Structures are given as structure tokens and as C-alpha cells.
Amino acid sequence: MTLLVTGGAGFIGSCFVRDWLAQSDEPVVNLDKLTYAGNLANLAGLAADARHVFVQGDIGDPTLLAGLLSQHQPRAVVNFAAESHVDRSIHGADDFIQTNVVGTFRLLEAVRAYWGSLQGDARQHFRLLHVSTDEVYGSLSASDAAFAETNRYEPNSPYAATKAASDHLVRAWHHTHGLPVLTTNCSNNYGPYHFPEKLIPLVIHHALAGKPLPIYGDGQQVRDWLYVGDHCSAIRAVLAGGRLGETYNIGGWNEKANLEVVHTLCRLLDAMQPRSDGQSYATQITFVTDRPGHDRRYAIDARKIEQELGWRPAETFETGLAKTVRWYLDNAQWVQDVTSGAYRDWVGQQYGNPP
């Protein structure tokens, strides 16, 4: 019994791999292209673990996919591989289309051929779980109900549009070809090993470096925050018991405005690592021009996964954020390596195949 995990060197994927191997002896074949956000240092603790097989490669490579599936005979594929940064998608959408749309199509076709070759219980129990985002649903007003699995897709950024397209492809391959799929749509993740381009790790990094803490617009954009470890436990629950062809929304029940999140981070940093001048990190907050098409509010209605699979997040926003800040304070070298690009050199030293 083996899992094939794609995008397993990224933020959420690496958390899933680490947690999986901490709780199970089932091996993981980890396929990751190692773009800027894919980082083998996220998996350093598994370097000597025979249960973890890392392969550098692209989900858009059909020959590679066919070979991995044939060689390792996984009983499930969990697809984290994606370009995921909205700002980057605004400035250049091509990588998002290639990975999130074309790559998902190539993965579906390779998995369909592999699944079609299986017999008996192996065919019956095989699953492809596709990890997606709440951003496919568009934006909510302050008074709108949270996103449910039945909400209409209304993506507003190039990133969200490519993830919506990937979701539609997964659905179509299920309904047309019978491929046994599951889809999850999560809210904003946070936690350890998060590449410092997203709000929470960016604020921590900039605060400690004495840089401005940039806030888009008025800072009142609302997001539902989900601790990454809770997200991974939800994916395990869906993989184990989700109904074929179904979508499960995964949220943290933590709606917070961006400005509130930043002020909370500043208070935690003030307590854990005070500035040498005695002032609050909040004095570094700076408001900048809002980004184009910035969605005002996301919120997830996660009742379906709770009612069907018994899952609820274990962390509150306060406990999860405190763990996150503490991790970044205790792992300054990881942050330095990521922001300097030194982790790419580590890849070459470790595997002899630098990207």
C-alpha cells in the first residue's frame, strides 16, 4: 500500500507528508517540481526515512506520471501540486494555467489509464483526492452566508480561475469516465513552513527584519483561517471516508479581517520577542494600494465534513497562531535560507540535481 502525493514539498503538501508518516507506516511517493515554493528543507526530517521516496518532476509530464504509477502501484493519489499565489497570478498567469489546468489534465489522464489497468479490490478502493481552494467561489459581502459546497463558482483572480478549471476537470473525469475522485476546497491556511510571500509569514518576517508591514487597502478583507495541521487531518478524513465524486469544504471557523490578523501577530511578537527599543511591532504597519480585484470576504461552511465524517479543527485561531509564531522564531535559519535562495543549493548537495 502506497500513496502518491503531488506537490508534497510545498507548504500544505509537506505538512501532509510529515503528518502521514508520523501516523502511518504506509509509504509515500512524493512528486514535486521544486519551483520557488517547493522546498526539500520542509522534508529534511524524512531524509533517512525509507518510507519517503522523493521524485523531482512535473505533473504535466505524462511519461513520468505513467512510470511512477506503474512502478509504485499507489492505492491513492493526493494532488496538492498548484501555483497558488494570487499576486503572482495577476502579474503572470501562464505558470498558473500550465500547472493548475494543463497539469491537472495530464494527471487525470495518467491516473485514468492506471486506474483502468487495476483489477478487483485495487480498482474498487482506488481514490484520487484533488486539493482546491475556497477562492473558486468568488467573494462574499459581510451579510452573505458562508460558502457551501453547492455555491456557484465565481472566480475573480487568474489563480482562482485556474483552480476552478481544475475542479471542473476533476468533476468531468468522474462523471464521464467514472474516475473515483474526491475534491476538497479549503480556506486560508497558515502554520509552519509557509513560504514568506503570504500574509502571516510575510508579516512575521518583515516585523523581525524591521521592515514595513504592508496592508492592502483598508485591511478589512476578511478570511477564514485554517491551521495547516487541521487541514491535513481533514484531508485524511476525506480520503478515508469521503463519498465518491463529492466535494468537502474545509474551514477553520475563524473569520478575521487582515488588519486584525496583523495586530494579533504584532501582540504575539511583542510578547515573545520584544523590539529592542520597547515599541510595538504595530508601529511598522503600513497601508498600501489595494491589489486589483481583491475579494472582500471568504468564509467556509464546514458543516458537511463534520456531519458526514466527524471532522472539526482542533486549533483555535489563537492557539494555531501562537504555535506558528513560535515556530518561525525557533526556525530563523529556515526563513533565512528560503528568503536568500540558499535552500536551492541544499537541494543540489542532498540529491545532486539542483533545479
46 DSSP assignment: G
Catalytic residue among 58, 83, 114, 159: 159
CA–CA separation, 67 and 87 (whole Å): 35
The residues with which 5 forms a beta bridge, in sequence order, are 30, 78
Nearest to 194 by CA among 33, 19, 22, 39: 39
| Catalytic residue list contains 135 | yes
Contacts of 305 (CB under 8 A, 6+ apart): 234, 237, 238, 248, 249, 250, 311
| Catalytic residue list contains 94 | no
Locate all alpha helices (DSSP H) within 178-249, ordered by sequence.
199-209, 228-241
Q: Mapping DSSP to helix (H, G, I), strand (E, B) and coil, where does residue 142 land?
A: coil
Cα angle 231-237-240, degrees, rounded to a multiple of 5? 140
| Catalytic residue list contains 216 | no
Catalytic residue among 135, 230, 255, 295: 135
Grid coordinates standing for 175? 462523471
CA–CA separation, 8 and 238 (whole Å): 18
Catalytic residue among 32, 58, 134, 255: 134
CA–CA separation, 194 and 42 (whole Å): 9
Active-site amino acid positions: 134-135, 159
